[in-house]
Amino acid sequence: MSKTWFITGASAGLGRMMTERLLARGDRVVGSVRREDALEDLQRQYGDRLMAVMLDLTDRTGIRAAVDNAFARMSRIDNVVSNAGYGLFGAAEEVTDDQIDHQIATNLTGSIALIRAALPHLRLQGGGRIVQVSSEGGQIAYPNFSLYHATKWGIEGFIEAVAQEVAAFGIDFLIIEPGPTATNFGAGLVQAAPMEIYKDSPAGEMRRILADGSWKIKGDAGQTVEAMITVADQKKPPFRLALGSSAYDGISRALEQRLTEVREQREVAYSADSKLFNNDETIMPDNSANRA
């Protein structure tokens, strides 16, 4: 049975490849683009199974209008894929205020606006799935990507909460966390002007690694998209999906380190409780089922 997808950033990278593969297997796609002619070749090939929409993720009013129009035209959309975004590269002190504002407006508040615009439609149709393309950078961090990480950690936290709010309506979430992948992401990086003081720091080393091409990119774009589609098709996918050995290994190490650190703090953590509770275990609702 064919499905209908709404995919942001459909003109290039993982979004373009995902659009091509879904259309080839018989699905329908609403693809957001920044240039009107970006999907013309696919439009000629697949006709009304592809609907291209102009969308700027920094335009919240435009996002809502585009989502409303897409649901009206397609009647039902099964999967909303929040994929569009870019990276801002530079030490926190190097990036400008305008660069920070645009990074957050595109990757974080733009993704939030897309999800919020889709929720009423998904509720009314009885459910659906939102696929958020995050990054290993939503769980771990590298020097010079602080603002990019802020947006990815931010959107993952937002979704952690929203998934609990809307599970009862048949709406679920899948967060995709690819590692470094051979796409055009690097070419789209916005780079801040370097400061000499950071030359011999981890930030400077990261800049050199990026410039000389020595950062090993293990992820294959085609394999990544294939895994994204396969898992998104599952009735009950995991809440988070790490893709690529770099992502899996890096996220695993980071989570193990955090868990070790927090367990070592148990005594001092409990000491901060009111004596009225006599250090009893605090019972919180188990929301894991709402995120499955």
Kindly report, residue by residue over 92-124, the tens digit of the pLDDT: 999 999 999 999 999 999 999 999 999 999 999
In the structure, what pLDDT confidence band is assigned to residue 184 with cuts at 50, 70 and 90? low
DSSP tag of 48: G
State both tokens at 10.
């459909």
Instruction: Determine which one of 134, 135, 146, 246 is catalytic.
Output: 134
Q: With 90 as the cut, is the pLDDT of residue 36 above it?
A: no
Residues 129 and 166: their CA atoms lie apart, in Å, by 11
Answer whether 0.85 is exceeded by the pTM. yes
Nearest to 159, CA basis, from 101, 80, 235, 213: 80
The pLDDT of residue 280 is: 60
The pLDDT of residue 137 is: 95
Concerning whether 152 is annotated as a catalytic residue, the answer is: yes
CATH code of the domain containing 270: 3.40.50.720
Nearest to 52, CA basis, from 27, 65, 35, 68: 35
Concerning whether 270 is annotated as a catalytic residue, the answer is: no
E-assigned strands of 135-251? Answer: 171-178, 190-191, 240-243
Instruction: Determine which one of 3, 11, 142, 152 is catalytic.
Output: 152
Q: How many CB atoms lie within 10 A of CB 277?
A: 10
What is the widest separation between alpha-carbon atoms in the chain? 70
Instruction: Determine which one of 135, 148, 198, 246 is catalytic.
Output: 148
In the structure, what pLDDT confidence band is assigned to residue 173 with cuts at 50, 70 and 90? very high
Task: Tell me if residue 281 falls in helix, strand or coil.
Answer: coil
Residue 178 pairs in a beta bridge with: 243
For 273-291, what is each residue's pLDDT tens digit? 988 876 565 556 666 655 6
Phi/psi for 162 (5° steps) reads: -65, -35
Residues 21 and 2: their CA atoms lie apart, in Å, by 13
For 222-263, what is each residue's pLDDT tens digit? 999 999 999 999 999 999 999 999 999 999 999 999 999 999
- Top pLDDT among 290 and 203 is at 203
**Mean per-residue pLDDT of the chain:** 93
Question: Which residues 6+ apart lie within 8 Å of 63 measured at CB?
Answer: 55, 57, 110, 113, 114, 117
- Top pLDDT among 218 and 31 is at 31
Residues 105 and 97: their CA atoms lie apart, in Å, by 12
Percent of the chain with pLDDT strictly greater than 70: 93
State how many domains the chain has.
1
- Top pLDDT among 289 and 155 is at 155
The pLDDT of residue 251 is: 97
Nearest to 70, CA basis, from 59, 60, 79: 79
In the structure, what pLDDT confidence band is assigned to residue 185 with cuts at 50, 70 and 90? low
Phi/psi for 131 (5° steps) reads: -105, 115
In the structure, what pLDDT confidence band is assigned to residue 182 with cuts at 50, 70 and 90? confident
The pLDDT of residue 207 is: 93
Domain that holds residue 111: 4-291
